[in-house]
Structures are given as C-alpha cells and as structure tokens.
Amino acid sequence: VRSLRLVGQHVHKQHSREMSSSVGPQRKVTILGAAGGIGQPLGLLMKLNPLVTHLSLYDIAGTPGVAADISHCNTPAEVSGFAGDEDLGKALEGSDVVIIPAGVPRKPGMTRDDLFKINAGIVKTLCTAISQHCPEAIVNMISNPVNSTVPIAAEVFKKAGTYDPRKLFGVTTLDVVRARTFYAAKKGLNVRDVDVPVVGGHAGITILPLFSQATPYKPVEGDELEALTKRTQDGGTEVVQAKAGKGSATLSMAYAGAVFAEACLKGLNGEKGIVECTYVQSSVIPELPFFASKIRAYKFLDGGAEHNIHVGPKVIS
Ligand code: NAI
C-alpha cells in the first residue's frame, strides 16, 4: 500500500503542471469495492475522466495492484490504492463523490433480494465510515439490492446526523442504458441520440422504462412494448445467465456508473442542464419513500450568494 501511494505521488508530480494549468476544480472520487468486477473497469473509466483530479481505490484486498496498474495511464488524475479496514478512513478523506460497488453479485437463480443479508452489512460499515470521514460527499450506491441498500445508507447517515437526501443516489443508470440500447435497435435510431427515462426501482417489475417519453419519439405499443419493457427489466438476469455462475453485469455497469458519476461531478462543478434518472428519497408517491425519478443537478443559492454546491433531486416528470 505504501509503495502505491508513492506511485500516486509520482503520478501527481509528473502531471502537476497540467493540473495547475487546468481551470477545473479539484475533485476526489473514491470507489469502495474497487478490486471487483465492476470496481476495476469503473476505476479505469474514472481515471480517464478529465473532471477527476484524485482517484482513490479501496477494497478489502487487491487494490494495490489495481491502483498501480491504473496509475500508469497517462491522464492527470492522481491514483491511490488502499486495502483493509484500517485504511478505509484515509481512502475516504476529502472525497467529493464516493461510488459503492462493494458486495457480492448475483448467481443464476438468485434475485437481487437474495443479496440483502450480506450486502446490507457491507453497506452499513462503509456508510458509517463515510459519515465519519467525508460526511459532505455525494454517494452513488451500486451495491444490490439498490431498493434496500439506499434506505439502509439513509438510516446510517440519519443516525450519524449527516443525512442529506440530496446527496444519496441509487445508481439505476444501467436500466436507462439498456432501455436506450434496446429501443434504438428496435426503432432503427442512432443510439447516441436516444434517451428513455426509467423510473420506479431497481429490481424486476419495479424497473419502469417510459417508452412513451422516449426521445426521439417513435410509438411502441402492444406486444412490442411488452417485449421491450420485459427485456429492460430482465437485462440483469440476461447477463447473469450468460455468465453462467461467473457474476453479473460488470462492464456495462462500470460504463453506467461512470456516466452517473460524471453527471454528479458536472453538477458539483455548476454545469447546467444535467439530468439523470436515479433512485432517491422522494415524495412523488406517498407510500414509497424512495423512487427512481428524473433528477436535475443544481447549485444552491444561500441568501443570494453562491453557497456550497450540492447535487439534488428534483422530480421533473
Ligand atoms: P465482485 O464480487 O466482482 O466485486 C465486489 C467487490 O467488493 C470485491 O472486490 C470485494 O472484495 C469487495 N468488497 C466486499 N466487501 C467489501 C467491504 N466491506 N469493503 C470494500 N469492498 C468490499 O462483484 P461485482 O460484480 O463487482 O458487483 C458488485 C455489486 O454491484 C453487487 O452487489 C452487484 O449485485 C451490484 N450490481 C449493481 C448493479 C446496478 O445496476 N446497480 C448492476 C450490476 C451489479
């Protein structure tokens, strides 16, 4: 771990001129579960992101190797790797965005709910550390079942007195990514131009792609609507079965996680018009304290003066 930090420092020095000449703010992104199937490609994608100035990689083991490997990419972000409980605080200190893909993934025949027992405990431990070491950070929860890990994180933060519902997000971007891909293919559209909002939750039938609000709009009805909806809802299971016991979606999830984290960084940096679907505390449906909705990242104004920059939920539709 120590040698890795040196690698990190070296990388930092090597690029200090580039960093000092850049106009963007310093942004630290931390990945918890960074040595896993999602964590590794997600770490790589964040290292390539010009909005990231420091990338902190934490896992219970294996992170020194991952961090050394990623740190050799010639992009400005400084990389540090941390392994084991005793380093968790150091990994988190000063983080602006914390991404959590830590925990066990599904195997064939398992639902996301089957992961609850193990992942709930992991999320509780990690969120307790976040409340102590970087209470202001934006949290992107990837660990499943997202429908439950997000409320667990909220309770941990409430207990610690650090809960800010505008900063806790369940990452449902992969549902959006799948809906866009399947809709564009079906309708012969350029997938780069396509958007499909996905609301609800992040498990089976709670995933509700709104093809009626897709852009560009092409009607999807009857059997076609049913088939596209089902494929989006079952996208995760499609991958779990294809991997036949070797895990769940990792590469597409890393891509989706990187898209969502970038939106958070842009929001923090004050960029306007950043809208993503994500699972957040919500009052849209009174019986459902958390609901995936379209959220706009925005700056808060305090007494007319620009205050801390937050990213927060605003249900648009
Ligand atoms: P993986 O097993 O390959 O990696 C998980 C990593 O978490 C491992 O490196 C492990 O050492 C680490 N870990 C375990 N306990 C930890 C702790 N206390 N602190 C830090 N790290 C810890 O699993 P994979 O495929 O990367 O999936 C991770 C999670 O993401 C699973 O819960 C999976 O269900 C979920 N997932 C969520 C999706 C979404 O759309 N939100 C999509 C796909 C997966």
202 C-alpha to ligand 1 centroid (Å): 16
Candidate from 2-6, 125-129, 275-279, 301-305 with smallest mean pLDDT: 2-6
pLDDT at 181 over 50: yes
CB distance 247 to ligand 1 below 6 Å: yes
Instruction: Give the list of residues 6+ apart from residue 230 with CB closer than 8 angstroms, or none.
Output: none
Please tell me if the CB atom of residue 43 comes closer than 6 angstroms to any atom of ligand 1.
Answer: no
Q: Which of 12, 54, 133, 202 is flagged as catalytic? A: 202
Q: Is 76 in the pocket of ligand 1 (CB under 6 A)?
A: no
Q: Looking at residue 23, what is its pLDDT?
A: 66
Chain segment 224-235, per-residue pLDDT in tens: 999 999 999 999
The per-residue pLDDT for range 185-209, each reduced to its tens digit, is 999 999 999 999 999 999 999 999 9
Give the other-Cβ count within 10 Å of 223's Cβ: 7
Q: Report CA(32)–ligand 1 centroid distance (Å).
A: 9
**202 catalytic, yes or no?**
yes
Cβ–ligand 1 distance for 277 under 6 Å, the answer no
The ligand 1 atom nearest the CA atom of 142: 41
Cα 193 to Cα 210: distance, rounded to the nearest angstrom: 16
pLDDT at 311 over 70: no
Contact (Cβ atoms closer than 8 angstroms) between residue 163 and residue 122: no
Average the pLDDT over each of 244-248, 268-272, 290-294, 310-314 and give the range with the smallest value.
Answer: 310-314
Closest approach atom of ligand 1 to CA 61: 11
pLDDT score recorded for residue 308: 54
* Ligand 1 atom at minimum distance from 141 CA: 41
Confidence of residue 306 (pLDDT cuts 50, 70, 90): low
Place 35 in a pLDDT band, splitting at 50, 70 and 90: very high
Residue 281 has pLDDT above 50, yes or no: yes
What is the rounded CA–CA span in Å between residue 120 and residue 130?
15
Q: For residue 257, report the distance from its CA to the centre of ligand 1, in Å.
A: 12
Q: Of 19-33, 81-95, 195-209, 286-300, give the lowest mean pLDDT range.
A: 19-33
Atom of ligand 1 nearest to the CA of 112: 34
Average pLDDT, the chain: 89
Query: Average pLDDT, stretch 114-132?
Result: 96
Q: pLDDT for 75-117, tens place per residue? A: 999 999 999 999 999 999 999 999 999 999 888 988 888 899 9
Is 100 a pocket residue for ligand 1 (Cβ < 6 Å)? no
The protein residue whose alpha carbon is closest to atom 9 in ligand 1 is: 36
Q: Where residue 155 falls among pLDDT bands split at 50, 70, 90?
A: very high
pTM of this structure: 0.91
State mean pLDDT over 167-171. Answer: 96
Ligand 1 atom closest to Cα of residue 249: 43
Answer whether the bond into residue 145 is a cis peptide, omega within 30°: yes
Nearest-CA residue for atom 33 of ligand 1: 105
Cis peptide leading into 76, omega within 30 of 0? no
Q: What gap in Å lies between CA 307 and CA 299, rounded to an integer? A: 8
Quote the strand ranges of 20-159, DSSP E: 28-32, 54-59, 78-83, 97-100, 138-141
**Would you say the CB of residue 280 lies under 6 angstroms from ligand 1?**
no
CA distance 30 to 40: 12
- Any ligand 1 atom below 6 A from CB of 36: yes
Kindly tell me if the per-residue pLDDT of 299 is higher than 90. no
